[in-house]
Amino acid sequence: MKIMILGAGDVGFHLAQQLASENHDVVVVEEDRERARLIEDTMDSLVIEGNGAAISVLERAGIAKTDLLLAVTSQDEINLMACLTAAQYKVPIKIARVSKPDYFEYSSILPQERLGVHLMINPERECALETYQLLQSPAAAEFAQFEGGMVQLVGVRVQPDAPLAGKRLLEAGADPGRVRALVVAIERGEQTIIPSGQTRVEPGDLAYILGEPGQLPEALALAGHDRFKLRRVIIAGGSREGWFLAHLLEEQKIGCTILEADRRRAVTLAESLQRSLILHGDATDLELLEMEAVGEADGFVAYTGNDHTNLLSCMLAKNLGARRVISLLDRFDYMPLVSRVGVDAAVSPRMAAVNAILSHVRRGSVLAVATLKGTRAEGIEFDVLPGFRFAGLPLAQVQFPTGSLIGAIVRGTRVIIPRGEDSIRIGDRVIVFALPEALRKLEAIFA
């Protein structure tokens, strides 16, 4: 497939790296010379320097022969203009990264099809949704969902005294009354493990557990964590992510306070939010944090526009006693540092955009993709189409690629956390977790 990516920021760079490694023909258009050279130096992709909204640049990049356009620059208008131009060249699929709420709120006046866009992705809204889910569980370091929430994934740190610690997964699952959930990936230091039954879970591991929503609290207890009820959240930074999250909290009648350093932005937030308390102040001001009783908050979320400020404010909030601390991080390379500095979890609007885009790039039998932050693993949801050659066979008799694991089978309204005797049927939806080297073989199996 010939894929054109507009923008070589973190989203474009990650997409180009991933898609080039999967042997797609990738062309990157980037206006900034240094970013363009970085792509040229680090991966096997053609790079065109120029403005992605310019017709001459798009033509030079080969827009007429492009199968998929990914417009992921930081400028909404450039992304939309590029998609509109690509529509005139009959590009089959066009995806635009769009952040401004106006483009979604007034979609009836200017619908996506008139803009030439097949999919508009709002990273900030997706990021707020992920944060809200992470706030619900004091244990989860990461959250993703499949099948509209029928199947959920949480990443959880295994405590030293946890029932799961020191056991092989085969032993943990031997109890007939076991929790119907599955450890599908483990991050241990810098190593990502797709486990087998013989894999032993160690204290300090970040275990990714897949299951039905009702089963996950019990699964988290196996990792040594308790439940809690979310009552009050403090948000540092009135960014778009903060605005979306405040709306979610208001809908659920959860107390919300926003600390915003810019006075004009604070006034705007106060006018648009009905139940949230908006305060003008610096989220790294220790005296302010103490005055607002951050130590008594159930959740503290740092959504300022600076990664360093986010991490610092989270560290201060954690030291003051905040129960659940989550930081927004724009830079992918900061993700592995989160647990080391005492932050409970990190979210990234850019990673949210990458996940949404990859699920559409791998179209056909692929329904959804979740990239696990800080690991090499991905969760992929496949539609089992007619012609699947292993239909009806017990999973114990099927040789799936090394570095992959069947996490769940969705059959109608039923979720099956599989064992060796279970089988996959035509029409099922299967959630698989895999390392990058296994992805191409998996896609061939489910194609």
Which segments in the chain show pLDDT lower than 70? 104-114, 137-139, 148, 172-179, 227-228, 359-369, 373-374
Hey, what domains does the chain have and what are their CATH numbers?
Answer: 2-121 (3.40.50.720), 130-222 (3.30.70.1450), 230-351 (3.40.50.720), 358-446 (3.30.70.1450)
Please state, in angstroms and rounded to a whole number, the distance separating the CA atoms of residues 193 and 33.
38
**Cα 205 from chain centroid (whole Å):** 20
Handedness of CA 155, 331, 82, 47 (dihedral sign): negative
DSSP bridge pairs for 430: 382, 409
Please state, in angstroms and rounded to a whole number, the distance separating the CA atoms of residues 299 and 323.
6
* Residues 426, 388 contacting (CB under 8 angstroms): yes
Q: Could you give the residue ranges of the DSSP H alpha helices within 137-231? A: 169-172, 216-222
Q: What is the pLDDT of residue 255?
A: 94
List the Cα angle 430/431/437 in 5-degree steps: 115
Reading phi first (left if > 0) and then psi (alpha if -120 to 50, else beta), residue 56 is in alpha
Q: What is the pLDDT of residue 264?
A: 95
Q: What is the pLDDT of residue 176?
A: 42
Residue of 143, 156, 162 whose CA lies nearest to 205: 156
DSSP bridge pairs for 370: 379
* Edge-to-edge strand list for the sheet holding 181-188: 140-146, 151-157, 206-211, 181-188, 191-193
Q: What is the pLDDT of residue 110?
A: 56
DSSP H or E segment with residue 242: helix 240-251
Q: What is the pLDDT of residue 31?
A: 92
| DSSP code, position 435 | -
Tracing tokens 């065109």 back to the chain, one arrives at 48
Reading phi first (left if > 0) and then psi (alpha if -120 to 50, else beta), residue 351 is in alpha
List the Cα angle 364/2/99 in 5-degree steps: 75
Pairing of strands 119-121, 93-97: parallel
Handedness of CA 88, 93, 96, 102 (dihedral sign): positive
Handedness of CA 99, 14, 444, 185 (dihedral sign): negative
Give the type of residue at 162. A
